Structure 1
Amino acid sequence: MNPLGFGDPLRLGPYRLVGVLGEGGMGKVYLAAGRDGRPAAVKVLRPELAHDQDLARRFVREAHTARAVESPGVARVLGAEVEGGRPWIATEFLSGPTLEEAVARHGPLDEPAVRLLAAALAGTLRDVHAAGLVHRDVKPANIVLTADGPRLIDFGIARPEHGLTLTTTGQIPVTPGYGAPEQVLGRRVTGAADVFSLGAVLVLAASGRRAYDGPHVAAVQYAVVHEQPDLGGLPPALHPLVAPCFRPDPAQRPTPGQIAGAFAPEGTGGRKAREVWRRGPLHEEAKAREAEVRRLTAATVVPGPGDAGVPAPSRRRFLALGAGGGLLLAGGGGTAWWLTGRDRAEPPAAGDAPDAALLEGGRGGVRPKPLWGPLEVAASGPLPTPVVLRDVVVFAARDGGLTALRVVDGSAKWTRPELSPRAGQVAVNEDEFACADASGRLSVRNASTGAESWSVADAGVALLLAATPEGVYFLTSERRLRAVDTAGRRIRWTVESGEDPVGTATPLAAAGPGRLAVSGTGGDLTVLDTADGRVAWRVRGKSSGPLGPAIEGDTLYAGGEALTAFALADGERRWEEKGYGDWGPPALDPEGLTVTGGGLAYRYRKDGSRTELWIVSLTSPYPSRQRPVVQGDWIWVVEGNHTEAGVSALSRSAKDRLWSYERENPGPWAVAAAGNRVFLLSRGRIVAMPTA
C-alpha cells in the first residue's frame, strides 16, 4: 500500500482515507476507516473523469449490479455517495491474498482445498445467477482467500489493472485464458460462461498452470476457441470434474449447483470447510494483513460532522500511517468488490435479467403457457406503456403509485405509492426512468431499486412524453411543453402547446437526435428542436388523433392517412405508402417495420419496399393505437381499436397469425417487451408471455 499523496482526499463521507491500495487509468482504491475504526475499501473515479457522464453511469451501473447478489461469497456494501462530482463506493475490506497471489507464493492447493474452493465458488456463482446476473470476469485475481473462505470480487465485463473495472478504448473485453469462447467471439453470454471461467480457475489452483497459455494474447484467445485446455497437471480424481466446464457448447456445461454438489468432499460441513482456510500459510498471511489493517484504521477513528470526541488526525499522521514499515498489503491483496447505493435500506439492484428461453416454433391456435401471471396488481383503465429495464417491469400499481415486478418470476421488487400513475413513466437510459409525484416534481429513478437518482422540484410534470439520456420531455398542467436537461438537471425550455395532459386522448411522442416528435390530439405531427423548443417542421392532419411516431437514426416513421418516412431534421418525405384506411403506429426492429391498416398487418423494409407478410383479417378494420411489439420471431398486435379483442401473436417466419390472448377482452391494453418476454396489461392484470 502506498501513502496518501497531496492530491488525495482525506475524507469521503464518514470514511477517513489511510492509504492507496491501487490505482489505474480510471481511478484509485483507498484503504479507509469508518467512524468506528472498522476498515473499508473505497473506490473513487479520477477527478478528470468524473464529469464524463458515460463513465460515471457505468461506474454506478456496475455498483448497482452487485447489490443484487445476496451471498456470503461476496463483500458487503457499506455506503456510497457523489461528493463534489466525484462518485465513491465503499465496501467491507477483505483481508487476504488473491488466489493468483497465493498460488504464485505458496504453490498449488492440495486436492481437499481445491474441492472446497470449487464448491464455495460454485455456490457463489449460483447466487449470482439467481440474481439474474453473469459475472463475466471470474479469474484468480478476482478471488480473495480470506480466513473465512474464498470471496468473489469485481463484477464487470472487463477491468483495467489494480481492480478498477471500467473499460477503456482498446481493452480486451475478457481476460485472456479465462473468458469463455462465446465471450471471445462476441456472442451472447449466459451463466455458462462463468462456469467455463471457473474451470480455468480450478486448473490454476490445482496445478499452478494455466488451462490456456501462449506467447501473446491472440494466441491464447485462439486456443480458447479452437483448442482443448491443458489439464495435465490436475490430480486424476479432479480431471473428470473439471473437464466438463470447458465444453464448447455452453448448454453442455454443468450448472453451478451441479459443480457444488460434485466437488464437495464427503462429510465436509460448514465447520470443516472453514477449517481449511483457518490453518497453514494462507491463513497466517490473511490474519497478518487483517491485524495490520485494523491497527492502522483503529488509529484513525474520527468524529463525523457534529460529533464530539477524538479530534481528526493531522495530514502528517495519515502519511506516516500510510508509509508504515511492515505493511502486508502489496499487490492488491486488499482488493474488494466495488458496490454502490446510499447507505439505507433499499431493495437490491440488479443487472440485466437473463433472457427467457425461446419456444420451439409455435402452433397456430395453441396459446403457450404464460411465464407467470396473470397477477391482479395493476391499475385499471387506460394505462401508460410499462417500462422494462434491467431486471424489472415498471407500471401503475393497483393501489396507487408505481410498482416494479421482477421480469423473471413476477415477484414484487418495489412499490412507490407517492409517484403519480397518471403522469406515466419513460425510460431515460438503460438503467433509469423518469416519473413524477402528485406535486409535479420530476423524479429520475433507478429502475431496479426505485431509488431516486435526481429530481427537479419545480418541473410541473403532468404527463411524461419521451426521454433520452440528454433530456426529459413532458406536458405541464398549464398545457405547456417542457424539457429538462439531464446533465444540468434543470429546465431547458418551455413552450406553449395547447395539448391537454389529462384528457381522454393525450398526445404521444418520440425523441431522437436533436428532435422531439409530438403527435397531438388533433392529429398534427409537430417536430421540435430539442435545443430550444422551436418548431422545426410540422405536418397538419397527419392522423385522426394521437398516434405514436417512431424514430431510428435520422428517419422518423409515422402512420395516419399514409405510412410515411420523413427525414428527421427537416421533414422531407423519403417514401410514403397509401392504404385503404388509416395506418396504425409503426414498430421498428433491426430487420424491418411492422404496421397495421385496413384490417391487415404488413411488414415493410425500412426503405419503403413493401413485403406482404400476412394476409389475415383482424377483428376490426380500424388500426389499434397500440404499437405492435416485436420479440423473437413473434410480433404482438392489439386487435382493433374501437372494438379491441385480445392480443394476437404473428409469426414473422411463418407469415401467419398463430393465436390470440384473451380474444374476448376488448381492452384497453398496454404492451411492452424485452428479453424474450412480452408483458400484457389489461383490466388490472399483468401477464408475462414467452416468444419463439
Structure 2
Amino acid sequence: MDSRRRSFLATAGSVVTGVLAGCPGFLSPSTGPDDRNNTEPELEGAGVRIPDSVESTYPQYQYDAANSGAVPGVSGPTGAIASLFEFGDGGFAPGRRMGSPSLRDGRLYLTEGRVDGSDRETFVYGVDAIDGTRQWATMYRGTNAAGPTAVADGTVLATVGDELVGLDPATGTEQWSFERSVQPGITVDGDTTYVVGRRSGRPTLYALSVGDGSLDWETTVNADTVPVTPAVGEDTVYTGGNALQAFDVATGETRWSADYGVTAPATVTSERVVVGSGTTVRVFDPADGTEQWNDDVETYGNLESPAITNPLAVTDGTVYAVADRGLTALSLTGSRRRYAVEMGINGTPVVADGYL
C-alpha cells in the first residue's frame, strides 16, 4: 500500500481507524477542537436568513467544463456579506491552506494541505453546506496538496500530491486512484475527466473515466512545463503551453494548434475559445484555431512579470481577465475595453446574476 494512502477515515455516525507507517489516528465528525469550524448562531437575529437547504451546484472549478466562470440561475451576495460558518483555518495558520471547493446535493467538497515540521498531510473533506459540519475526512500522508475538487455522479475527484483519486461522496472512501503524475486542476465533462501532467518528462493530457479512473487515452502536449488545465467545448478539449492546442475528445487526436504561448486555461463558448497569453487576451475560432482578435489587459506595476494565469470568466458579451492585481473587462465580440480596475489581489473571476 502506498505510504501516502488514507490512514484514517471518519464518516457521519461512524469512525474507522487504521495504521500506516506506525502512526495511528482518527477523525471524528463531531464538533471539537480539531474541527476548526464555527457556526454563527446569531446571524438570523441580525437580519440574515440562514437557508434551510442548498439546491444549487458548483460541480468544479470555474463551474463547468468550458471554464466559463458564469453561474446561471444563482444570485450571489450584493450587500454586506456575513459569514454563516467558518471551516478550517488555512487562510490564517502558517503551513495550512484550503483548496477551491465543489458543491453538490447540499455538501461541499474541498482539500486542505498541512505542513507541520517535516510532516506533510492532505485532507479531503465532505462538509455540510448549511452549517459547516464535517461529514467525513480522508487523510493522505507525504503531501500537502490543496487543489480544487470536482464532483460528478457518485464520485468526488481530488488531486493528492501528484495523484488523482476518486472518492465516494457519501463516505469519503477511496474508490480508485490514477497513479501517474498529474497536476491540480480537474475538468469533468459527462463521464470523462481530463487532467494534465508529465509522463517520462513529456507534458501529457489524460482522459479518464470518472466512474473507475480507467485511462481512455493520452496525448503529448506542446509545453515546456506542465500544460494549463484543460477546457472542453462541444467535441474538443483545449490545453497548451507553448501553443494553444485542440484535441478530439474521443480519440485525443490533434485538431489544430495556434502558435501563441498560453499562460491561463482556455474558456470556451460555442463560437470562441478565449485564453490568457502573458498580458494579452486572445480569442480563437474553435473550428480551425484562427485568431479572431487580441487585446492587452491593464497592468499596474505591482508584479515584476505580470501575466494572466487564472482562468478568465466569459459571459454572453464580456471577457473578464485578472493580471497584476487588476481586473480588465473586454467586449467578447471585439477588442473594445469596457473598463479596468486595480483590485490589490490576483483572483479568479466568477459571474453570477450580473455581479462579479
Above 0.5 in TM-score? yes
1: CA distance, partners of 2:88 / 2:71: 20
Counterpart code for 1:443: Y
1: CA distance, partners of 2:295 / 2:285: 17
2:349 match = 671
2:136 match = 455
Q: In structure 2, do the counterparts of structure 1 residues 408 and 415 end up closer, same or farther at CA, with 3 Å as the change threshold?
A: same
Larger Rg: 1
Q: Alpha-carbon deviation of 1:420?
A: 4.7
2: CA distance, partners of 1:559 / 1:410: 40
Q: Does 1:416 align with 2:54?
A: no
Q: In structure 2, do the counterparts of structure 1 residues 542 and 508 end up closer, same or farther at CA, with 3 Å as the change threshold?
A: farther
SS in structure 1 at match of 2:213 = coil
Q: In structure 2, do the counterparts of structure 1 residues 541 and 557 end up closer, same or farther at CA, with 3 Å as the change threshold?
A: closer
Match of 2:329 among 626, 638, 649: 649
Identity among equivalent pairs (%): 20
2: CA distance, partners of 1:568 / 1:624: 26
User: Is the CA contact 1:352–1:390 (under 8 Å) kept in the aligned structure 2?
Assistant: no
2: CA distance, partners of 1:589 / 1:536: 25
Out of 455-464 and 588-597, give the one that drifted further. 455-464
2:309 match = 625
Out of 628-637 and 544-553, give the one that drifted further. 544-553
* Length-normalised TM-score, structure 1: 0.35
Q: Alpha-carbon deviation of 1:598?
A: 6.2
SS in structure 1 at match of 2:83 = strand
1:108 match = none
Counterpart code for 1:515: T
Listed one character per residue, the Cα deviations across residues 382-409 of structure 1 (whole Å, up to 9, x for unaligned) are: xxxx9979868xxxxxxxxxxxxx6232
Q: Does 1:563 align with 2:222?
A: no
Q: In structure 2, do the counterparts of structure 1 residues 391 and 581 end up closer, same or farther at CA, with 3 Å as the change threshold?
A: closer
Q: Alpha-carbon deviation of 1:656?
A: 0.9
Match of 2:77 among 407, 421, 439: 407
Match of 1:474 among 142, 158, 173: 158
Q: Does 1:520 align with 2:234?
A: no
Q: Does 1:348 align with 2:80?
A: no
Match of 1:490 among 145, 156, 173: 173
1:445 match = 127
1:542 match = 222
RMSD across aligned positions (CA) = 4.1
Q: Alpha-carbon deviation of 1:629?
A: 0.7
1: CA distance, partners of 2:100 / 2:318: 26
Q: Alpha-carbon deviation of 1:473?
A: 1.7
User: Is the CA contact 1:631–1:676 (under 8 Å) kept in the aligned structure 2?
Assistant: no
User: Is the CA contact 1:563–1:583 (under 8 Å) kept in the aligned structure 2?
Assistant: no
Q: Alpha-carbon deviation of 1:610?
A: 3.4
Which runs of 5 or more residues in structure 1 are unaligned?
A: 1-69, 72-126, 132-346, 354-385, 393-405, 500-505, 679-692
User: Is the CA contact 2:70–2:350 (under 8 Å) kept in the aligned structure 1?
Assistant: yes
Q: Alpha-carbon deviation of 1:410?
A: 4.0
User: Is the CA contact 1:434–1:444 (under 8 Å) kept in the aligned structure 2?
Assistant: yes
1: CA distance, partners of 2:297 / 2:111: 41
Listed one character per residue, the Cα deviations across residues 496-544 of structure 1 (whole Å, up to 9, x for unaligned) are: 2446xxxxxx632212233322223774333333333343333335333
Q: Does 1:434 align with 2:112?
A: no
Count of residue pairs the alignment pairs up: 278
* Length-normalised TM-score, structure 2: 0.62
Structure with bigger helix share is: 1
User: Is the CA contact 2:326–2:346 (under 8 Å) kept in the aligned structure 1?
Assistant: no
User: Is the CA contact 2:193–2:209 (under 8 Å) kept in the aligned structure 1?
Assistant: yes
2: CA distance, partners of 1:464 / 1:352: 24
Listed one character per residue, the Cα deviations across residues 464-508 of structure 1 (whole Å, up to 9, x for unaligned) are: 44413222222335x433111336753111232446xxxxxx632
1:28-427 alignment to 2 at 5 Å? 347-349=50-52, 407-418=77-88, 420=90, 422-427=97-102
Structure with bigger strand share is: 2
User: Is the CA contact 1:469–1:486 (under 8 Å) kept in the aligned structure 2?
Assistant: no
1:262 match = none
SS in structure 2 at match of 1:525 = strand
User: Is the CA contact 1:465–1:508 (under 8 Å) kept in the aligned structure 2?
Assistant: yes
Q: In structure 2, do the counterparts of structure 1 residues 556 and 581 end up closer, same or farther at CA, with 3 Å as the change threshold?
A: closer
Q: In structure 2, do the counterparts of structure 1 residues 486 and 428 end up closer, same or farther at CA, with 3 Å as the change threshold?
A: same
